[in-house]
Structure 1
Amino acid sequence: MSSREIDVLVLGGAGVDTIVYVPELPLPFADSYMIRPGIETRAGQSGDFVALGVHALGLRTHHLDMIGDDHEGELVRALHRDHGIPLTDVLQPGGTKRAVNLVDPQGRRLSLYDESRSGEEDRLPEETVKTLAAASCHAHVVITYPCSFTLPALREAGLTLSTDLHNWDGVNPYHEPFAYAADIVFVSTTALADPECTMRQIVERGRAEVVVATAGADGAYLLADDEVTHIPAVTPPGPVVDSNGAGDAFASGFLLGRLAGEPPLRCGLYGAVAGAYACTVPSTRADAISRYELLTRVQELDSKGVLVSGGGA
């Protein structure tokens, strides 16, 4: 580990979600629904969850993003304060990013993102980015606007970079600057017609050493050293109540292994354990697996001879 003061600098992805539990997805049209256990608004979007995840795993963490001077912004600041995660927030004139998450009884999620909060002129201050980058070992860049503008400064600072393209279809040009600038790329298989083809495209066109395509209950696929390997899903430690944040947790666990010098397959196991834990946490709560819990679970899986298998995505 480097002597720099920050292990993981997280850029972007701060915001607030309103959680609505629905009887099923897709939700059939009706005049009204009676909702239980209720509707709740809480801080926590992708960047918040990655910051929370790596912090809970014992990595020195710092989060940078644009946040509004509004009630939602105070919720985000309070989340970081309560968990002891350093946050540098830049004023977002359009207000704090927010979304509505519909969650069904199986824990599946449909997210509705409010795009009106960002403006074309929004930027993270270059000097702030450079100062934090100089103190960091690694940066995880969320694909929220305007994080793509920070990529050149982060590369110039000599950091390794990771990003999560979420449900990229392999075509949308918005995702390309992130996909081709990062050393570690996470992407969901949800919208990919040919996951392995997209994974190899990311390596060929960019600088990625590792690409991970997460596939929910089917586990994940790892492309490293020109070989695709299947990472089986790990049995969650409790009932599955919500998939929200599972991908962010996977990325957090993977980064713990990567920054500790573990081989990619081992990092994938760390990610699978963290992601499985996240599925047991209700949407209304912000929580992450601890370093002790993760390493203990990995040790248990080692003793059972959990295997990863070769094969395409």
Structure 2
Amino acid sequence: MDLDVLVIGGVGIDTVVRVPGLPLPDWETIHVEPVETYIGHTGHGVVLGCHLLGLEAGLADVIGDDAEGWWIRSTYEQLGLPLAIATHPSGTRRSVNLLAPDGTRTSLYDGRHPAGMWVDPVLWRDWVDRARHVHVSIMDFARRALPDVLAADCTVSTDLHDWDGDNEYHRDFAQCADIVFVSTSALREKAIDWIFASGRAQAVIAMAGADGSYVHVRGEDPVHVPAVDLPGRPVVDTNGAGDAYVAAFLTTWLDGRSYYEAAKAGTIAGAWACGSPGTHTDLIPAEQLMLLINR
């Protein structure tokens, strides 16, 4: 099967705990609402978001031969989503997300795979050659896929998340992508200039949560795309909003639209994701996105 989007890395299990506020009070016991668990993480959000927006999307990743891993396999089979997996004894990635009533969160991430973990490149090689676009999550093993991705006839994106502009871990990913997504939450001055000077990026999308996003295109002045409020859909959970943004951006851009039109679509998709509890439980479908873009 040929793919519109191949995502390398980034599926796991999210446990969401709704807390009375952040930071937590210094109490021994805090009573919370029912704790919920979901299939989530960044790569899964991009794959599922692209799928719901009409693209052929698949995932190549490393998971555990454990209950969480089998849940992921079963879900992808039920959804009809292509999944290439390798297993590792360290198990399936997990996170515990503490969610405040205003939708803000703190994520406790258990990546669990050892640094430098070797993965047989057959995991991604066949699919890379049959994909229009490859989105590389910042899993350490995915770094080994970058030479194969760059050698293929495809465009490339990555999401650096809360990169500060200095952490060496993220730099390989930043340098290899045509489109770089990054949060403004920790981003230092001149980091975006470094991405353009050091890599092949044609666009850097700086996501700023309630302040919207900033579209930086090589050789052009940055453009602010404000956040949107969707009537009847208030913010209840920000988990997965960035992944929804990325999925809608890529879908729109791969359809031949401009970076700015893609950012508008991403903004709407991100706002939609904030209107439902859990991670990736209610990502925007193509028909709804088109309706909101044209309103």
Indicate the TM-score class for this superposition, using the shorter chain for normalisation: over 0.9
> Given the two structures, how large is their TM-score scaled by the length of structure 1?
0.90
Give the one of 222, 230, 233 matched to 1:228. 222
Q: 2:222 aligns to what SS in structure 1?
A: strand
Q: CA deviation at 1:236?
A: 2.8
CA distance, structure 2, for counterparts of residue 128 and residue 114 of structure 1 = 23
> Given the two structures, how large is their TM-score scaled by the length of structure 2?
0.96
CA distance, structure 2, for counterparts of residue 278 and residue 203 of structure 1 = 30
Q: 1:257 aligns to what SS in structure 2?
A: helix
How does 1:160-239 map onto structure 2 within 5 Å?
A: 160-194=155-189, 197-226=190-219, 227-237=221-231, 238-239=233-234
Query: Are residue 85 (structure 1) and residue 78 (structure 2) matched?
Result: no
Structure 1 residues 75-84 or 142-151, which shifts more?
75-84
Q: Deviations over 1:259-300 (max 9, x none)?
A: 111011101111111111111121166221111111111011
Q: CA deviation at 1:193?
A: 3.1
Query: Are residue 40 (structure 1) and residue 36 (structure 2) matched?
Result: yes
Q: 2:205 aligns to what SS in structure 1?
A: strand
CA distance, structure 1, for counterparts of residue 250 and residue 270 of structure 2 = 13
Q: CA deviation at 1:90?
A: 0.7
Unaligned stretches of 5+ residues in structure 2: none
Q: 1:35 aligns to what SS in structure 2?
A: coil
Structure 1 residues 131-140 or 117-126, which shifts more?
117-126
CA distance, structure 1, for counterparts of residue 116 and residue 162 of structure 2 = 26
How does 1:9-158 map onto structure 2 within 5 Å?
A: 9-36=6-33, 38-115=34-111, 117-158=112-153
CA distance, structure 2, for counterparts of residue 124 and residue 290 of structure 1 = 34
Contact preservation (8 Å) 1:181, 1:207: yes
Query: Are residue 281 (structure 1) and residue 276 (structure 2) matched?
Result: yes
Q: Deviations over 1:99-134 (max 9, x none)?
A: 10000001111000114x212452332133220111
Query: What amino acid does structure 2 have at the position aligned with 1:274?
Result: A
Identity %: 43
Query: What amino acid does structure 2 have at the position aligned with 1:231?
Result: V
Contact preservation (8 Å) 2:132, 2:154: yes
Query: What amino acid does structure 2 have at the position aligned with 1:201?
Result: W
Structure 1 residues 118-127 or 216-225, which shifts more?
118-127
Q: CA deviation at 1:186?
A: 0.3
Q: 2:294 aligns to what SS in structure 1?
A: helix
Moved over 6 A (4+): none
Query: What amino acid does structure 1 have at the position aligned with 2:196?
Result: V
CA distance, structure 2, for counterparts of residue 225 and residue 179 of structure 1 = 14
Structure 1 residues 202-211 or 127-136, which shifts more?
127-136
Q: 2:182 aligns to what SS in structure 1?
A: strand
Give RMSD over aligned pairs: 1.3
Q: CA deviation at 1:19?
A: 0.8
Q: Which residue of 2 aligns with 1:5?
A: 2
Structure 1 residues 280-289 or 185-194, which shifts more?
280-289
Unaligned stretches of 5+ residues in structure 1: 301-313
Contact preservation (8 Å) 1:236, 1:279: no
Q: 1:151 aligns to what SS in structure 2?
A: helix
